[in-house]
Chain A
Amino acid sequence: MYAFSYQRPKTLAEAANALKAEDAKLLGGGQTLLPTLKQRLARPSDLIDLSAIPDLKGVREVAGGLEIGAFTRHAEVGQSEVVRRVIPALAGLAGNIGDRQVRHMGTLGGSIANADPAADYPAAVVALKTVVVTDRREIPGDDFFTGMFETALQPDEIVTAVRFTKPDQAGYAKFRNPASRYAVVGVFVAKFGAEVRVAVTGAGPSVFRADALEAALAADFRAEALDGVAVDADGLNADIHASAEYRAHLVTVMAKRAMGTLE
């Protein structure tokens, strides 16, 4: 770790101000940032720890869905009675991120700002008609993820919350990387009236919606409707854990399993 100065602001305004320092970086749960620092792959001048800002924390039920503060840890979302009642699939997703230690540190804001192609939350953000709220604007969830580790955020923009729309039904299934526990493929299915959204994480450079699966499910909202619906392997990720072809196969399998978890 290179030396940096550490700050722990108590308000969003203080944090925004501190972030103006050159090479300042926000610290969420530190689950990605701290290992990066330990490996000396980043050299921020300042770390602005968001953990002391009350406004960034907690789950709130709002009209039409949920608003979850950016500094809400995965474990809290996973265990929240409100999330379990309003969007159970979201609680299930959060409760299966990484391992217990990671879930008790990692945060929603950190996860989506980081935009790891293998992260789980992006699937929910895209499937659940969300709005990402920042310190200066609201970004539609559909436009938030722009590429591998890339988002629509400005370098000095702070995610403050995410608003999720309550679906009629939703389910999430994930094929875990056996080593890291991240998603090799994760599929979030959500139904809003006649509209079906199928968001896929892990498989590609960034979360995407699987048109063919959406069409099949819009026509017939049953797992069996996905039989024989193949996903193109072109452009999907390949690494020592899974080839593009295998990932493509898993997308359909996980979509079916997500249908099996509908709530």
Chain B
Amino acid sequence: MANPNGIGASVRRLEDQRFLTGRGRYTDDFKRPDMTHAVHVRSPYAHALVKGIDATEALAAPGVVAVLTGADMEADKVGSLPCGWQIHSKDGSPMKEPGHFPLARGRVRYVGDAVAVVIAETREQARDAAELVMVDYEELPAVASSTRAVEGAAALVHDDAPGNVCFDWHLGDKAAVDAAFARAEHVARIDLVNNRLVPNAMEPRAALGEYDASNGEYTLTTTSQNPHVIRLLMGAFVLGIPEHKLRVVAPDVGGGFGSKIFHYGEEAVVTWAARKIGRPVKWTADRSESFLTDAHGRDHVSHAEMAMDKDGRFLALRVSTLANLGAYLSTFAPSIPTYLYATLLAGQYKTPAIYAEVKAVFTNTAPVDAYRGAGRPEACYLIERLVDIAAGVAGLDRTEIRRRNFVPAEAMPYQTPVALQYDTGDFAKNLDIALPLVDYDGFAARKAASRATGKLRGIGFATYIEACGIAPSNVAGALGARAGLYESAEVRFHPTGSVTVFTGSHSHGQGHETTFAQLVAERFGVPIENVEIVHGDTAKIPFGMGTYGSRSLAVGGSALVKAMDKVERKARKIAAHMLEAAESDIEVKEGRFTVAGTDKSLGIGDIALQAYVPHNFPLDELEPGLDEQAFYDPKNFTYPNGCHVCEVEIDPDTGVTKVVAFAAVDDFGRIINPLVVEGQVHGGLVQGIGQALYENCVYDESGQLLTGSYMDYCMPRAEDVPSFTVRTHEDQPCTHNPLGVKGCGEAGTIGASAAVMNAVVDALSAYGVTHLDMPATPEKVWRVIQAARPAPALAAE
């Protein structure tokens, strides 16, 4: 590594200085002259008709500028929030796509659904007045859980979605699976729930709308992971504003975890209202609104079966899943329980036949969409819990059944029976590295030591593979995506040799300002502090798809490499001219252009100066300037994979589970910045552990959110997790992108929940427990122990 800040260096995040000293600029920090404040009036009912809205009193309250409703939006021909993905049911019919309006029109469908917006001089005035808006609701029966939603007598969330079904989809070869089950020696079965989660980004959502009447231009500043996508969706489908008159800025964003990918109604409301009242309008969610209205994650109820031969080799997998989509389709909702879930059900195993059915239903709850991992944690959790059960059924050690069924490294590239083609991966190697990290051999002794103090110890494994680097546009399009999924980059050398990179990726905690700058520093040998990464402003960056699905480096980084290739090509031409050599004689290394076999050379800085001060420049062959743009559309998904091992200790007297050790071995392909990668893994693991032990979003039957604050929704704390042991290996680089990178943003979350739950079940196995739904709360654990007391194994002592 020649450049101390190049590829492979643990460069400390350049952006942290501003974040840690409170100098980040978030949407709510922006203040405009004459700015007003919006507060939404939200439904307290899960399901109700809105028979009338009386704003008389609110309008008379101090400071109130306007009270606007769905009817006002309708009169202005404001459209429905669009869905970016279309799924077709088994019978070929398209999914049900009911209207989803920024302000409800005549009916509300979840607690938090917005019915009106109050705009006032101050936020407090808007809040005061919002309480004075009289909404005449007629409550309707509601349905909150997916299992209830499909019962015959359930209330209908949308009249045009019979049985509350949005789509009833399937993937795989049913006949082959049925045939395999018919000849199976062993069958493992499981029923499980993947618990619903609230994303809980540190920064709540916010949006600031502005309209400039002098030129008809709108600006939306918003907490988004993908400003260009918001501009397209909101401009083209909701408000009818052409792109050249709409600028969307996503400044510093304090975490997203998926919840800020989507186009939300509030963004359209403030943009539309800014023109209507002729003043900027800002809205910032409070934490209660975040709980109620950020798109939630997960919420699956599944049944799965694995057919095996007599040696525990997997013959076929059959899965049926009920997915809760909430009250309306959020932007990418239909793709999550389908193409980001069922396609991953092969996991790391060479199961030859797989059939998955997914029924997705509407309920009177907040919309559900991508949340860190998005479909893949659900797949991993299901497979890995089922594989543990399969080990029991087949009488094999849990590591052995995995080894026996791994897709071997030699079989790569490997075509799964569920659409994906894995490019690289050495799954046995991951496991081999992981076992000594947790001293697997010493586990029995540790378990005995725990037992001596009255505690139960368990160890659990999870292997995972995910499809990242989303996505080849042609594949995504064939699967129902209504957008391309490439990424863009522009590399602009300035006359004195400093560089600005414009990327369509968006950083909301991932550290792009550092890692992307490292790529430039490495390639051109420029000091890292001379590289600026610009993201998040549609007026500056080329059209790009933003950040989610662990795609920034794999897709955005690849676009950056392509743009740098173009810069280098042009620079070589300039160098050849300046050095009076043939282009083919120019050798390029880290930004130095040398005539082969001579000491004649130029640095990229000299070339950049020449490009902008073209006194002696090959003008008939080249334009001045050194500024290139590229779009990169991936050829395949990338496939990060790994093996997570968790050790827990349970106190049977209270049911409290403590994670005592956790090791994660991950294959992310090539690593650009090990420090950033480790940080991503740590955060992901904590979120995965959170789902397994603490986090649970609960609605009661009437659709009221019971876990609407941190007093009831339990987030994991630093003290709840052990010091992690994290390893990566780089000998299985991605074969189809120029950096060989796979992505690391979601991996921790994907593997961790399954590893924890497998450890919990292992600890409780003495009590005959084979499964426990997440989260493994103290009472839940205590109850299964009570139900089985006295445990055979312990009673024998």
Bound form: Cα–Cα A1–B653 in Å: 43
Report yes or no: B128 in contact with A246, Cβ–Cβ below 8 A. Answer: no
Q: Does A40 contact B (CB under 8 A)?
A: yes
Report yes or no: B707 in contact with A253, Cβ–Cβ below 8 A. Answer: no
Report yes or no: B714 in contact with A240, Cβ–Cβ below 8 A. Answer: no
Q: Does B711 contact A (CB under 8 A)?
A: yes
**Chain A minimum-CB-distance residue to B706:** A240
Bound form: Cα–Cα A250–B635 in Å: 57
Bound form: Cα–Cα A137–B348 in Å: 72
Q: How far in angstroms is the closest Cβ of chain A from B354?
A: 36
Report yes or no: B694 in contact with A178, Cβ–Cβ below 8 A. Answer: yes
- Pick the 3 closest A-B CB pairs, nearest first: A179-B714, A180-B711, A246-B779
Take A40-B131, A240-B707, A243-B779 as given contacts and tell me if A180 and B712 are in contact as well, using a CB distance cutoff of 8 Å.
Answer: yes
Report yes or no: A178 in contact with B653, Cβ–Cβ below 8 A. Answer: no
**Chain B minimum-CB-distance residue to A252:** B653
Can you list 10 A-B pairs with a CB-CB distance of less than 8 A?
A175-B654, A175-B778, A179-B694, A179-B715, A180-B710, A180-B712, A240-B706, A240-B712, A246-B778, A250-B654
Q: Does B127 contact A (CB under 8 A)?
A: yes
**Chain B minimum-CB-distance residue to A175:** B654
Residue interface mask B713-757, A partner, CB < 8 A = 1: 111000010000000000000000000000000000000000000
**Chain B 747-797 residues near chain A, CB threshold 8 A:** 777-779, 782-783
Bound form: Cα–Cα A1–B125 in Å: 10
Q: Does B117 contact A (CB under 8 A)?
A: no
**Chain B 280-316 residues near chain A, CB threshold 8 A:** 286, 288
Interface size class of A (residues with CB under 8 A): 10 to 19
Bound form: Cα–Cα A1–B39 in Å: 14
Bound form: Cα–Cα A31–B587 in Å: 67
**Chain A minimum-CB-distance residue to B694:** A178
Residue from A3, A39, A242, A253 within 8 A of B653 (CB atoms): A253
Bound form: Cα–Cα A182–B714 in Å: 12
Residue interface mask A1-37, B partner, CB < 8 A = 1: 1110000000000000000000000000000000000
Interface size class of B (residues with CB under 8 A): 20 to 34
Q: Which residues from chain B contact A249 at a C-beta distance below 8 Å? A: 782
Residue interface mask B643-655, A partner, CB < 8 A = 1: 0000000000110
Report yes or no: B127 in contact with A240, Cβ–Cβ below 8 A. Answer: no
**Chain B minimum-CB-distance residue to A253:** B653
Q: Does A241 contact B (CB under 8 A)?
A: yes
Q: Which residues from chain A contact B710 at a C-beta distance below 8 Å? A: 179-180
**Chain B minimum-CB-distance residue to A246:** B779
Report yes or no: B779 in contact with A242, Cβ–Cβ below 8 A. Answer: yes
Q: Which residues of A contact B (CB under 8 A)?
A: 1-3, 38-40, 175, 178-180, 182, 240-243, 246, 249-250, 253
Q: Which residues from chain B contact A2 at a C-beta distance below 8 Å? A: 128
Report yes or no: B124 in contact with A1, Cβ–Cβ below 8 A. Answer: yes
Q: Which residues from chain B contact A180 at a C-beta distance below 8 Å? A: 710-712
Bound form: Cα–Cα A178–B131 in Å: 33
Bound form: Cα–Cα A179–B711 in Å: 6
Report yes or no: A240 in contact with B698, Cβ–Cβ below 8 A. Answer: yes
Bound form: Cα–Cα A158–B698 in Å: 39
Bound form: Cα–Cα A18–B694 in Å: 44
Residue interface mask B384-423, A partner, CB < 8 A = 1: 0000000000000000000000000000000000000000
**Chain B minimum-CB-distance residue to A254:** B654
Q: How far in angstroms is the closest Cβ of chain A from B718?
A: 11
Report yes or no: A179 in contact with B712, Cβ–Cβ below 8 A. Answer: yes
Bound form: Cα–Cα A1–B127 in Å: 9
Q: Which residues from chain A contact B779 at a C-beta distance below 8 Å? A: 241-243, 246
Report yes or no: A246 in contact with B714, Cβ–Cβ below 8 A. Answer: no
**Chain B 98-131 residues near chain A, CB threshold 8 A:** 124, 127-128, 131
Q: Which residues from chain B contact A40 at a C-beta distance below 8 Å? A: 127, 131
Q: How far in angstroms is the closest Cβ of chain B from A20?
A: 27
Report yes or no: B712 in contact with A253, Cβ–Cβ below 8 A. Answer: no
Q: How far in angstroms is the closest Cβ of chain A from B232?
A: 37
**Chain B minimum-CB-distance residue to A256:** B653
Q: Which residues from chain A contact B714 at a C-beta distance below 8 Å? A: 178-179
Q: How far in angstroms is the closest Cβ of chain A from B149?
A: 21
